[in-house]
């Protein structure tokens, strides 16, 4: 108790020295927290991929659309387990406001313009590429499951603008018929390629494709994603599919596993870069903090000598100074949490651009949504920061603490 009291008095009386150490520790903790946020985001993305990804292939339409008869013929090929169908339609939404886009150099009369938005009719939302790679994310409710009818996923910005909650019904028009769709979930995400408000992801509806089947006799699709029973037989199944008498000039077929390999390669690159950054931060923290603490110990030689003179042991003195640093570290941890979370976004963008850049310097394939750390995560960061401080103080104290008490008392003169 006496040691802790002496430590508190030292921190309070030497406020300038304490403030310098507080700033250095704050930067160290902030860097570690930023890295922890990115690592948490990577782990969550990997979990999503492992949970949702299934081996298979994707059939995309060329200039036209994929006929339902063609899609069903492929579904009958041995080894194909199931399919996720996807096609877009324009919905009339006269009762709702649309999120505005950047429609530069385009003037539209909103009174005469028909209030429409794009709806993607799908079998399962979990199989959509943007949900797999983290570009879109369910924030409330659930996704669209197989066999869903009259159910819809909406974007969080559209939901906020129109004050729509999960469980509400939205009234839309399609093929001159009115439909009531139940909102089962709300998702987030951005798509910078779309600027017209009817095409923006913020105004996009994701609807169970069974709903469209009731209104349209002959379905056609933009793409169909097929899943296979055995991941090892993907190439064999694709070979069988290509033997079918279909108009392959108008159809594109790609292996989903090749796409997954690209995504995992990007994640692996991100993890390597993050590890290098965290090691660099730790080493830099030890060196900078150790350098400052070296002068800190030498500047307190008289205090150490006095404590030795009144019977305190070197272990007791070292413990006091360690407690001082723990107190300062605890005081700076709150601001470090704020600063670390604030800088996590910039760190994520930097790492992603280094790990997987395209020709324009933007990242492709993988989108890391920033995840919040929980109490255990922050405790882990605090322990890592504590280890950095312990190594720094251990190295800095050697020059003084290795001396015999008599030598320390001699230096006081």
Domain coordinates of the chain in residue numbers?
2-50+262-411, 56-229
CA distances from 368 to 39, 46, 131, 267 (A): 10, 10, 11, 10
Q: What is the predicted pLDDT for the residue at 112?
A: 44
Q: For residue range 297-340, what is the model confidence (pLDDT) as tens digits?
A: 777 777 777 777 777 777 888 888 888 888 888 999 989 998 88
Structure tokens at 347: 């760190």
pTM exceeds cut of 0.75: no
User: Above 50 in pLDDT, residue 384?
Assistant: yes
Q: Do 207 and 121 form a contact (C-beta atoms < 8 A)? A: yes
Question: When comparing pLDDT for 256 and 400, which is higher?
Answer: 256
| CA–CA gap between residue 207 and residue 213 (Å, rounded) | 11
**Are the C-beta atoms of 33 and 349 separated by less than 8 Å?**
no
> pLDDT digit string (tens) for 23-44?
999 999 998 888 888 888 888 7
pLDDT at residue 404, as a whole number:
67
Q: 107: helix, coil or strand?
A: coil
More confident residue, 355 or 50: 50
Residue 138's H or E segment, with its range, is strand 137-141
pLDDT at 138: 92
Query: 371 near 45, Cβ under 8 Å?
Result: no
Q: Which residues does 290 contact at the CB level (< 8 Å), separation at least 6?
A: 391, 392, 393, 395, 396
Strands (E), 235-303: 251-255
What pLDDT is attached to residue 156?
A: 95
Rounded to 10 degrees, the C-alpha dihedral 111/114/115/121 comes to -170
What is the structure's pLDDT at 360?
Answer: 39
Residue 267 to residue 10: CA distance in whole angstroms: 47
Q: Is 75 exposed, middle or buried (0-12, 13-18, 19+ CB in 10 A)?
A: middle
Query: CB of 174 within 8 A of CB of 143?
Result: no
Mean pLDDT of 145-168: 92
The Cα 375–Cα 323 span in angstroms is: 23
Distance CA 38, CA 346 (A): 10
At 100, list the tokens.
């505005």
Tell me the mean pLDDT in the region 117-146: 88
- 203 contacts 197 by C-beta, under 8 angstroms: yes
């Amino acid at each position: 108790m006496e040691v802790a009291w002496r430590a508190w008095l030292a921190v309070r009386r030497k406020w300038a020295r304490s403030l310098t150490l507080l700033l250095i520790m704050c930067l160290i903790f902030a860097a570690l927290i930023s890295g922890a946020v990115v690592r948490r985001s990577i782990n969550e993305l990997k979990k999503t991929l492992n949970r949702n990804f299934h081996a298979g292939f994707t059939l995309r339409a060329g200039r036209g659309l994929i006929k339902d008869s063609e899609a069903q013929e492929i579904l009958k090929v041995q080894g194909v387990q199931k399919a996720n169908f996807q096609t877009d339609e324009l919905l009339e939404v006269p009762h709702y406001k649309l999120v505005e886009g950047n429609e530069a150099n385009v003037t539209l009369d909103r009174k005469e313009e028909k209030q429409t938005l794009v709806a993607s009719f799908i079998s399962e939302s979990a199989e959509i590429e943007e949900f797999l790679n983290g570009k879109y994310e369910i924030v409330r409710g659930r996704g669209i499951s197989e066999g869903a009818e009259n159910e819809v996923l909406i974007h969080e910005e559209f939901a906020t603008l129109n004050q729509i909650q999960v469980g509400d019904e939205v009234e839309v028009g399609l093929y001159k018929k009115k439909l009531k769709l139940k909102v089962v979930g709300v998702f987030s995400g951005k798509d910078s390629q779309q600027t017209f408000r009817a095409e923006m992801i913020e105004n996009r509806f994701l609807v169970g494709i069974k709903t469209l089947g009731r209104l349209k006799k002959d379905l056609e699709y933009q793409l169909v994603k097929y899943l296979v029973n055995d991941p090892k037989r993907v190439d064999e199944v694709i070979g069988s599919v290509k033997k079918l008498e279909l108009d392959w000039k108008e159809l594109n077929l790609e292996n989903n596993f090749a796409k997954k390999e690209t995504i995992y390669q990007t994640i692996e690159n991100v993890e390597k870069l993050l590890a290098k950054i965290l090691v660099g931060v730790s080493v830099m923290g030890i060196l900078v903090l150790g350098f400052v603490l070296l002068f800190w110990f030498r500047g307190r030689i008289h205090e150490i000598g006095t404590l030795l003179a009144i019977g305190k042991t070197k272990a007791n003195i070292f413990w006091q100074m360690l407690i001082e640093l723990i107190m300062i570290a605890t005081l700076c941890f709150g601001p470090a949490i704020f600063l670390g979370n604030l800088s996590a976004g910039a760190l994520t963008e930097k790492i992603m651009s280094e790990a997987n850049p395209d020709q324009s310097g933007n990242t492709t394939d993988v989108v890391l949504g920033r995840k919040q750390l929980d109490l255990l995560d922050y405790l882990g960061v605090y322990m890592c920061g504590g280890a950095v401080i312990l190594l720094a103080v251990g190295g800095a104290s050697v020059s003084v603490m290795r001396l015999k008490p008599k030598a320390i008392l001699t230096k006081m003169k």
